[in-house]
Amino acid sequence: NVFLKYTMKQWGQKPEDISPEVTGRVPVLVSYDNRYFQDKYQGVPKEGFTPMFERMLDHENITVETGVDCKERLRFEENQIYFDGTPFDGEVIYTGALDELFDCQFGRLPYRSLRFDFEHYEKESYQGHSVVNYTVSEDFTRITEFKYLTGQKNTDGTTIVKEYPFAYTGAEGEIPYYAILEPKNQELYEKYHALAGGLPHFYLLGRLAEYKYYNIDAMTKKAMELADAIMAENTKR
């Protein structure tokens, strides 16, 4: 069974142990349409996601700082947010790992992570498709060949990436990609959510902060809805 073996490799679990919220993301369809998603309109940004985000952030009222641990800037005491040591009553939208924000005091939330291995080949095509999933004998789950996503016509070479799943440990360099949606993990998340719930104007958004599985289209929609809700709330003050 294609789905059985792939699911076990991706999640490191048996399918019956995985939340239906995750397994339900793979619909069973009878169709000649070979696309993974069935949306009428599908695509990627013309110049890629990086330029898109750069333009979104290119505004005089936006300052971007990277390589900063938010816990060095944010502090919480008795339901008061402090920013750089000063009480802060504005909005904070937090998109990072919620357990790490509170020093994993109840234990670390489990995630699956990925290792990406890039390879370049001096030939026109490697696999003839943008994405091919591998289910049984290989350690990697899929190979992506980028030229079929970008529309590049380079005949002299092609670049691919292989994805290797593994359990996230919190070690340096590891990235938590996928929340493991089990009841015990959700109970653990709720403990951290309760700590954040008492903070005024403190919003949790995204895969890590909400401990949920989102695709980028759904996440973009939710971010815009949150922005609308915050602006609407501010007009009432």
Contact 156/120 with Cβ under 8 angstroms?
Answer: no
- 167 forms bridges with which residues in the sheet? 112
Q: Are 210 and 204 in contact (CB under 8 A)?
A: yes
What is the domain partition of the chain in residue ranges?
43-109+175-237
Q: Which fold has domain 43-109+175-237?
A: Rossmann fold (3.40.50)
Q: Environment class of residue 227 by beta-carbon count within 10 Å: exposed (0-12), middle (13-18) or buried (19+)?
A: middle
Distance, in Å, from the CA atom of 196 to the CA atom of 191, rounded to the nearest integer, reads 9
pLDDT digits (tens, 9 = 90+) for 55-97: 999 999 999 999 999 999 999 998 899 999 999 999 999 999 9
> For 200-215, what is each residue's pLDDT tens digit?
999 999 999 999 999 8
Entry pTM: 0.86
